[in-house]
Structure 1
Amino acid sequence: MPRKRRPGGDDTHGQVDDIDDEHAVAKIDINNAPDPATATPAQAKKYLNRSVERVVSMLNELQEATVPMSLVDIHRAIDMPKATAFRYLWTLQKHRYVERNADGLYVLGLGFVGMQSRDLDVLKERARPWLERLRDDTGETTNLGVLDGNSVRYVEVSESIRTVRMSSPPGSRDPLYCTALGKAIAAQLPESQVRELLAQVEMTPRTARTVTTVDGYLAQLATVRARGFAIDDGENEEDGRCVAVALLGTRLPAALSVSGPASRFSTREAAAVAKSLIDVAERLQPAPHE
């Protein structure tokens, strides 16, 4: 298909758009289109949408990569000008099909459920026995959460057997700005991305302790990065306390946490539990060949 350049521009200084040839599209017989799996090269040339094919190639590269990819890695892998590749990635990131980590490297995002579901299933299977062990050791509820849009989603929960307990059902969501899971994940993201996520929500107070300003939240993230774990100290629930640690080296922005009533789960105990969480998070990091 023809490519249209803006006057005086190239892939570095202007935009490049793949567009359909309206005359060619008008000749397409929608009702008698060939099966894409068996189409001849001539038929494929007539029906193929180049922009979509390039996006698919990009997503395939990210899916098959064993480590996060840089912009240079991606544009070279699919033989696409770097500026064009960045525009594609930027658009995919906007719609959550791609995530950019704290190092500026790209991985598949949660928006692309089909590609992410297998990674998520594997992570849940690997994390489940460790969550159960932590639950038994601490007597409190343990959680695996992932970034889902501008919130954190609980994907695996090992609930405390105590009568009085803190627990969120799998599939439920909580804000990033007032949860330990959210803070642990957000602390690994670029500040620009955190600001963008916070701009999409109203930072309403859940309790009197909830931080409701962007600057206040960013200051909390600096503390999380310095000490290696995050704490929700009655910010999401009045009598709740939670400690969380980010999972590094996975394809998903994820974190592990332990939560319990603040009346029996003190800040000192939470800090001690953080050491166990860090140990588990390190064990859950994929091996170099994975």
Structure 2
Amino acid sequence: MAEKATGGVQSVERVFELLELITDAGGDVTLSELSSSTDLPLPTIHRLLRTLVALGYIRQLPNRRYALGPRLIRLGEGANKQLGALARPQLKSLVDRLGETSNMAVLDSDMVIYVAQVPSLHSMRMFTEVGRRAHTHDTGVGKAILAQLDDDVVRGIVTRTGMPTPTAKSIGDFDSLIADLNRIRERGYSIDEEEQELGVRCFAMAVPNAPTPTAISVSGPVSRVDQAFADRAVPLLREAAQAISDELNQN
């Protein structure tokens, strides 16, 4: 196998380049679309795709497009569990210091999926379970993630998923969402103001330089999660997000 000067195995690098291109394209592409997105020769792309199809990591659709395959699901689930395990000490520290439930979520196929949680000891708390999928536009973690993306990417996500409004306070149109995302970009954190569940407020922050869009949050009843809580929570969220980022980016 040929190796690059960096010590990387070229064929492995090419495989992951193709997988990431397909992911970035929304999960399925044509051969010509792949060819226009990479400098790899067409015969090389075709050979790598054929191998990935045979292994189940890519599948070819009836319309000849190539899509991510089912065997990647198991790898993704395993990676999410490991990401949750890595973040759990920081989430526990947030709960210990703030007294409210802490979560971590990642962007997965236009939705957020919760990959870790440390619950509050209070009997009254937000019931979000690990493994639950939710929309991006009406959750604290979702909006923190969207604020890291270009507006055109955000438009694509909410166009594909729709913008349901589970409460009267939920954002239901693209222009209002972009206005909120601009506020999030300016202050550095998002707020779910009873948009997912009435009576529950959430503060969330993106994890910087994460390999996949990721955010952490603290949430609880509006009676406890007020402005005084925010004044304490935001610096601690920033500290925890940076600590998780540092660990994720260790060589």
SS at match of 2:161: coil
Letter in 2 for 1:196: G
Asked if 2 retains the 8 angstrom alpha-carbon contact of 1:167 and 1:259, the reply is: no
Task: Write the mapping of 1:12-91 to structure 2, written as runs, cut at 5 A.
Answer: 58-61=14-17, 75=38, 79-80=40-41
TM-score normalised by structure 2 residue count: 0.71
SS at match of 1:209: coil
Task: Write the mapping of 1:266-285 to structure 2, written as runs, cut at 5 A.
Answer: 266-285=226-245
Pairing partner for 2:147 from 187, 200, 212 = 187
Measure how far apart 1:125 and its partner are.
2.0
User: Match of 1:100?
Assistant: none
Asked if 1 retains the 8 angstrom alpha-carbon contact of 2:81 and 2:115, the reply is: no
Q: Which has the larger radius of gyration?
A: 1
1:233 aligns with 2:202: no
User: Match of 2:24?
Assistant: none
Measure how far apart 1:220 and its partner are.
0.7
1:128 aligns with 2:88: yes
Measure how far apart 1:191 and its partner are.
1.2
Asked if 2 retains the 8 angstrom alpha-carbon contact of 1:187 and 1:221, the reply is: yes
User: Match of 2:125?
Assistant: 165
SS at match of 1:237: coil
Task: Write the mapping of 1:83-232 to structure 2, written as runs, cut at 5 A.
Answer: 112-117=72-77, 119-232=79-192
Percent identity of equivalent pairs: 33
Measure how far apart 1:115 and its partner are.
4.9
User: Match of 2:223?
Assistant: 263
Measure how far apart 1:240 and its partner are.
0.4
More helix by share: 2
Q: Separation in 1 of the partners of 2:168 and 2:183?
A: 20
- Mean Cα deviation higher: 200-209 or 222-231: 200-209
Unaligned runs of 5+ in 2: 1-10, 21-33, 50-57, 59-67
Q: Separation in 1 of the partners of 2:194 and 2:16?
A: 42
Q: Separation in 2 of the partners of 1:286 and 1:138?
A: 22
State the number of aligned residues: 204
User: Match of 1:248?
Assistant: 208
Asked if 1 retains the 8 angstrom alpha-carbon contact of 2:83 and 2:115, the reply is: no
Asked if 1 retains the 8 angstrom alpha-carbon contact of 2:168 and 2:195, the reply is: yes
Q: Separation in 2 of the partners of 1:167 and 1:153?
A: 14
User: What value does the CA root-mean-square deviation take over the aligned residues?
Assistant: 3.2
Unaligned runs of 5+ in 1: 1-54, 65-70, 89-96, 98-107
Asked if 2 retains the 8 angstrom alpha-carbon contact of 1:243 and 1:271, the reply is: no
SS at match of 2:143: helix
